[in-house]
Each structure stands twice: as C-alpha cells, then as structure tokens.
Chains A and B, each alone.
Chain A
Amino acid sequence: MEGETNGGWGGGAESVLNLVPGSSISIRYHSLFGAHDDFLLLEADEALLPDILHNRVTIRGQTDEEAVLCTPSATYAMKFVGTSNSVFLIPPGEPILPCMKDTCNDSKSNTSAVHEVVPSVIKVASSNMELVLVAPRLDKLKSLLNERPYKLDEDVETDFQHNRSLYRWQDLLEQIQASEQELRDGLKALSAAEIDGFWRIIDEKTMDEILNMVLNNSILHGWPLNALKEDEVVSVLEADGYPRNITLRCLETFGNMVESSGCSLWSLDEKKVCLRFALQAVGGGKMKLEIFLQKWRHSVPSGMHADLKMLEGEVLYEKLGFETWIRAFRVSALPSTPAERFAALFRERPRWNWKDLEPYIRDLHVPGLSSEGLLIKYTRRSQPSADVEPNFSAR
C-alpha cells in the first residue's frame, strides 16, 4: 500500500513520456491489469486544479439526482463521455521487476540499471468525466425551508417532533446541489436566518409584523428611516418580545447596513419596503389598479414614495374593458431552472410581450447561454410587422 500511494505502481509512465527519439520501448499489460472500475478519469480545467488538489471540492447529490461537483464557489455538472478508442492507462513508477531492491541490494548496488524498463498498462479506459459549469440547484432549498417557516408564536418545547423539517448547515450541504458560496447566497436571497442552529425562512406575516414594529417605533422615538441604530432598534424590539436575530434578519431584508463610526446603522430600502406594502395591499386576489394605488400609497411609511416601477416581476396587469386590474405574480415564487420557469410563465399567459416578460427572466443565468439564447431556446418569437412589439409564446 505504501508503495502505491507514493506512485509506486511500477507502471513506467515516465519512460513512455520521456522516450527519446531513436529509442524504443516495450509496452505490456500490468500484472494487475483489469477492469479497475474504481479508477475514474476526470477532465478538469487547469484553473480548477488548485481547488481539487487542495481538497476543496465535493461531489453532491442524492442517488436519484445527477451528480454535481462543487468547488467552494461554483457548481459543475458531471458528464460521462465515452470513447471508442482504446485508451491505455499507464501508471507511473519505476517498474518493479523480480529481484529488485530487497534481495539484490547487498550483492550489487546497481542492479536496476540492467533491467529493461517496461511500461505497463493497468486499465483500458472507456470513458471519462467532463465538467460543465451549471447554475446551483437551489429550488430544492426553497422547498425544504418552506416546509416549516419560522413563526413568532411557534413553541418548540411542546412540539414532540421539533427537529422535523429543520435543517442545519451540514444537512443543507448534504441535500442541496450547490457550492457553499452559492448556498450562502441562496439562503441570503431567501432571507433565511440561522435560528437555534437551524436555517429557517421567516414566515411572511412574522416579517411584516416586525417591519411594522420597526416603523411604528421609528415614529415613536423619532428614528430616521435612513439611519436606524441597530442596537437601539434591536433592544427596543427585544423588550417587546421579538428575538434579536429575527429583528436583525428583518433589517437585512428591508434595509442596507451603513456603518458610521463604530455603530451599525441601517437604512431602510424604499423599494423593498414599498413592495412589501404593495403585496399586503393587493393580497391574494385581483384588484382594480386605481383602488390598489390609493390603498398602497396610503399605507407606505411617510417619506417613502410608491411607484409602480417597484413592482416589476411582482405583479401582473390585466385589461378588462376600460379598467386595468392588478394581481400578485411573483418571480421569486417561480422555478429557477429555465425550462420550468418558461413552462410556468406560459401556463400563466400563452403570450408575453417583452416588457412584461423581461422582469420574469432577468434573473435566469445559465452558464454559456445569453438571455437572447434563452429566448431562442425556450420561446417562439412573433412580430407581425416591424413597428409592432414582438410577442413570445411557447415553443
């Protein structure tokens, strides 16, 4: 074993690769030649080698999923590529011939020189694996975390199966086909928080409640919405029974940190806050646009201005007679793989114009495929005449 790990296969790869012009060498089957199904060839870009050689890559997936290889920051699909050629694998190492080192060392010092160097084939490889950069598969993360969103009033103590449908970081690494960086980003995009060691999505109602508490207290205490003092906000809400880390997650979700002289300040993001109020206003059904706008503008915190541009990718408009109706249709609720995304979009509407469609596909990033390429692959474009906006329908 020791010899093997040191490359001592006795295969003589060096003598093949370093064969000098004018010389020749015999090639034979290794004494251990065989199918060797435990040997795999992985084609890897030079740029990936440092991660692989420093133990920074992991293969992830359940047995019913296609395996992916993850570096700390990227995800690669693994494809088997077969060959009809005969690919003879020759391991390295000084060929070990009978009567080498051990027995001959004493009598003659230079016995190896008289042995013929015979490179040996250990296996004929019929395929190798290739890596293709892919987007992380994060839809599963969303559905796992949605199994049990965090609610303020949940009582963990009385729940007998209180660890069911709860996931720690390591559990997520086991389950999700994404690199650690992409998983962290995915959790952030979902506004997930680590609560008692488990990663949780915070229930929307809970989030709304905390946001309202922050806003109400800002009026009460005269806090500026663009410079909320983190310590102050957190301790005031904590006194009202809102856990510290949930309040912090709320600030992260609706604001941006602006540090100033050692004290953490948060500036609430007008668009994010207004969007939240818009979704509350429109609710689950559809609503006349005029009525919605009244309700929405009335509800947003003073100093913030509601603008329909904030609702791209969040609502759809429908013309019924003379009136325009609005209803929620959120890109964040749609699948993130292109094929499923377009299928969901065309289920919603058979035909889309570009202006409506763009907000629902701008977050799709497929390595090696431009947004133009995505449209060609998944939609049929029709444009009756040059001065009319093109339409996109299902292929």
Chain B
Amino acid sequence: MQIRVKCNCGDGKCSEWAIVELQGVVESQLAISDQINGLEIGHLCCSSSSSSSQPSYILTVGYHELSGTKVQLKKPLLVLQKKAAADAAGPEFPASSAVELEVIGIIRQKILFKTRPKALISRKNISSSKILRFLATGKETFIIRQPSKDQMLLSFNSM
C-alpha cells in the first residue's frame, strides 16, 4: 500500500499555522461543555520585557494567568490532512489505498506556556461580575474582557 503525501502549496508557500501550547487541559464549565465552538478561551497579551529582546506573552484563561514565550521549533511541523485520493484508480498507483495526505500548512513557531498558571483569584464561587471587577482593577492584569458563560477554567493534571 502506498499513501502519497501531496502538497499544493507550491514552492515554500505553505501557509503558516500557529500553536499555543500550555500545560494541563482547558476545560469548560459543565453547563456548556458540549458547545464550545466559537467561544472565547482566553486572552493573549504580548508585553515588551525591558530586560531582553524576547517579548513575553501572557495568557489569561478564566481566573488563571500563564506566562510564556514565543519558541522557534527545532524542526518544523507539517499539518497534514487525510483526504480521499483524487486519482486512486490511476495507472500509476494500481493497488494504492484510497487516501492521500495533503500538506495544508506548516508550523515553525509556537507560543509556549511551560509554567504552571498563577491564580488571579483564589476564592471559589465568585460571581461573574466580581471577576470582571477584579480583572479590571487587579494590578497585574490589564485585560478587560466580558466574562460570560463561555468562560473557561484551567484544570491541571499532575504533571
């Protein structure tokens, strides 16, 4: 069996995808767990750090804050998509499988959050409006967003 790897991007024109990587799992609140499409995960903020040329990134998810950096991948990652082969019955591949892989993108860098998150608040059962007020006034954050039912919680596996 042969599965062809195809690329229609042409010479070095593969569109670049991005990765945001963090420890643990982002979980939605039970009530909305099935329907997260289109909902906001969090806020990504790029801050110019004075010490180095590398800017630092802050990702706020619910009441957790992570800090990370942009990392160049040692080896690029190709995004492949499994597709039905266009010419599976062609003479060149008589008995080949009916699928092929198409290169649809390339990833060369990611925003990596490798540290555990910092809790912006520790009290549970705080109401949405209080979070908003807290976020708006908390000194380490300058993100103002509308916490709503699409708010995500970060839950951590033991890692």
Contacts and interface: CB of A to CB of B under 8 A. Distances in A.
Q: Are A and B genuine complex partners? A: yes
Interface of A: 5, 7, 11, 13-14, 16-17, 19-34, 37-46, 49, 52-55, 57-63, 69, 84-93, 118-119, 121, 125, 128, 170-171, 173-174
B81 A39 contact: yes
Given A58-B5, A59-B5, A85 B17 contact: no
Contacts of B24: 85-86
Q: Which of B48, B59, B104 has the largest number of chain A CB atoms within 10 A?
A: B104
Contacts of A53: 7, 9-12, 14, 103
Interface string B118-159: 000000000000000000000000110100000000000101
A89 B15 CA distance: 13
A121 B75 contact: no
A62 B1 CA distance: 6
B20 A90 contact: yes
Nearest to A24: B45
Contact of B19 (A60, A87, A171): A87
B87 interface: no
A52 B21 contact: no
Nearest to B57: A19
A393 B109 CA distance: 49
A42 B80 contact: yes
Given A84-B157, A174-B96, A55 B6 contact: yes
Interface string B47-90: 11000000101010000000000100001111111110000000
25 contacts: A21-B47, A22-B47, A22-B48, A23-B46, A24-B143, A26-B42, A27-B59, A28-B38, A28-B41, A29-B40, A32-B37, A39-B81, A43-B75, A43-B77, A53-B12, A53-B14, A55-B5, A59-B2, A84-B157, A88-B21, A90-B17, A90-B18, A121-B41, A125-B19, A170-B94
Contacts of A31: 37-38
Nearest to B82: A38
Interface residues of B, number: 69
A61 B97 CA distance: 11
Contacts, number: 197
A118 B41 CA distance: 11
Given A27-B43, A40-B101, A59-B5, A87 B21 contact: yes
Nearest to A168: B94
A90 B101 CA distance: 19
A46 B76 contact: yes
What does DSSP make chain A's interface, helix, strand, loop or mixed? mixed
A16 B17 CA distance: 9
Dominant SS at the B interface? Answer: strand
A119 B145 CA distance: 16
A63 B36 CA distance: 36
Contacts of A14: 16, 18
B45 A86 contact: no
Nearest to A54: B7
Contacts of B18: 11, 13-14, 16-17, 89-90, 92, 119
Q: Pick from B17, B21, B78, B92 the residue with the most CB of A within 10 Å.
A: B17
A29 B45 CA distance: 17
- Which of B5, B82, B107, B142 counts the most chain A CB atoms within 10 A? B5
Contacts of A90: 17-20
B46 A19 contact: yes
Contact of B79 (A34, A39, A45): A39
A33 B37 contact: yes
A86 B21 CA distance: 6
A29 B37 contact: yes
